[in-house]
Amino acid sequence: MQSVHLFPESLFYIMVMRFKMSVFKLGELFCGPGGLAWGATHADIGNKDFKIVHAWSNDYDFDTCRTYTRNICPDNAGSVICGDVRKLDLDSLPPIDALAFGFPCNDFSVVGEQKGFDGKFGPLYTYGVSVLKSHKPLWFLAENVGGLRSANEGNAFAKILDDMKAAGYRVYPNLYRFEKYGVPQARHRVIIIGIREDLPFEFKGPSSAPYANVNNTCRNAIENPPIPMDAPNNEITKQSAMVVERLRHIQPGQNAFNANLPPELQLNVKGAKISQIYKRLDPNKPAYTVTGSGGGGTHIYHWDEPRALTNRERARLQTFPDNYVFEGSKESVRKQIGMAVPCQGAKIIFEAILKTFAGIEYKSMESSLKDEGDI
């Protein structure tokens, strides 16, 4: 399928534009531990002239910034700005060609109260929009949870898209189900690509068809190849005797509420019963969504051994390479991994962006979301 559509422009103009738009300096807000950055800097379209390089990034969490620095830009620690985005002098940030911002999802996630713009974190996307207005990058990638579509009765998503368009960008939103792209995890994310409206390029989301035969079961991800004995962040969480016994009664794919548990191991929970409480993986399917949670039975649990996954196993489900070292305590690392974008999923989307600018055709799909915010 044709994936790149150019507006009527002279061939000379297009060639000049492509020449100038081959190496993209990427800035990031809410950068997390580096899932998006890894995907961007490892994007490869078979043309070495087209690539994405790190310029600067920002996150508020100290351990997260240390992780990002160690793995993405170890020789340029000063380019990682650790602090509250609300206190940044956005205008003074170095020039960039592209922007990525996975704005906080707390107030948009269906797991929470979905306060949307009424919550503490909902309005933080506006700082990304401010960078679009001040730095005018050629393109951007914005990421959030699937629940973004329904927050504030759908009005939040429409408002966000309108603000991005008002900043001077054509927007291409899509809901990506990463398990369809070979990621060993059911992780659904709204990703919005924006291209500056004066540029002669149209983006289409990459098709999942090339990944239809990928073995993305959680068993394959965790066991093949075996995790090295000396792999970082691979400490096993100690489980209480009661938790171990409870897990022995829970079959793969079951949780604490649909398993046949004896009375003494049942949970005395009133109201909503969350399906992921003490849920064991089904080894023959992708994992359920990796989150930053851990207490109260919210770890992800091994299908065979009566234990929670290690952070390295969780990182594999997020497609981080084994040499990707996370900084901080075990609990801090768990949160970082849970908040990240899967590296390989990000790589696929960034490669589609590079191909768009390079004029290379690729298998694409129609957007599952309309840019008017119609969900």
Q: How confident is the model at residue 18 (pLDDT cuts 50, 70, 90)?
A: low
Q: Mean pLDDT, the chain, as a whole number?
A: 88
Mean pLDDT computed over 251-263: 96
Query: What end-to-end distance do the CA atoms of the chain give, in Å?
Result: 25
Tell me what pLDDT residue 17 has.
54
Mean pLDDT computed over 138-158: 79
Tell me what pLDDT residue 271 has.
63
Let me know the angle formed at the C-alpha of 31 by 90 and 165, rounded to the nearest 5 degrees: 60
Query: In this predicted model, what pLDDT tens digit does every residue of 96-132 receive, in sequence order?
Result: 999 999 877 443 444 444 443 444 444 788 899 999 9
Return the minimum-mean-pLDDT range out of 63-67, 86-90, 274-278, 371-375.
371-375
d(CA 236, CA 311): 8
Residue 283 predicted with pLDDT over 90: yes
> Is 327 in contact with 72 (CB distance < 8 Å)?
no
Fold of 11-214+341-365: Rossmann fold (3.40.50)
Tell me what pLDDT residue 272 has.
60
Q: Which of 159, 79, 86 is nearest to 118 (CA)?
A: 159
Residue 7 predicted with pLDDT over 90: no
Q: Helix, strand, coil proportions of the chain in percent (round to 5)?
A: 35, 15, 50
Look-up: residue for tokens 């940030």? 93
pTM recorded for the entire structure = 0.90
Considering only the C-alpha atoms of the chain, give the largest distance between any 2 of them, rounded to a whole number of Å: 76
Residue 270 predicted with pLDDT over 90: no
Residue 213 predicted with pLDDT over 80: yes
Active site residue 65: no
Residue 247 predicted with pLDDT over 80: yes
Tell me what pLDDT residue 274 has.
73
Tell me what pLDDT residue 149 has.
65
Q: How confident is the model at residue 172 (pLDDT cuts 50, 70, 90)?
A: very high
Which of the 8 DSSP states describes residue 187? -
Residue 375 predicted with pLDDT over 90: no
Let me know the angle formed at the C-alpha of 213 by 211 and 219, rounded to the nearest 5 degrees: 100
CA-based radius of gyration for the chain: 21
Q: Which residue has the higher pLDDT, 367 or 79?
A: 79
The residue from 65, 73, 105, 343 that is catalytic is: 105
d(CA 62, CA 74): 15
Query: In this predicted model, what pLDDT tens digit does every residue of 174-209 receive, in sequence order?
Result: 999 999 999 999 999 999 999 999 999 999 999 999
Show me where the domains of the chain are located.
11-214+341-365
Q: How confident is the model at residue 159 (pLDDT cuts 50, 70, 90)?
A: confident
d(CA 200, CA 355): 14
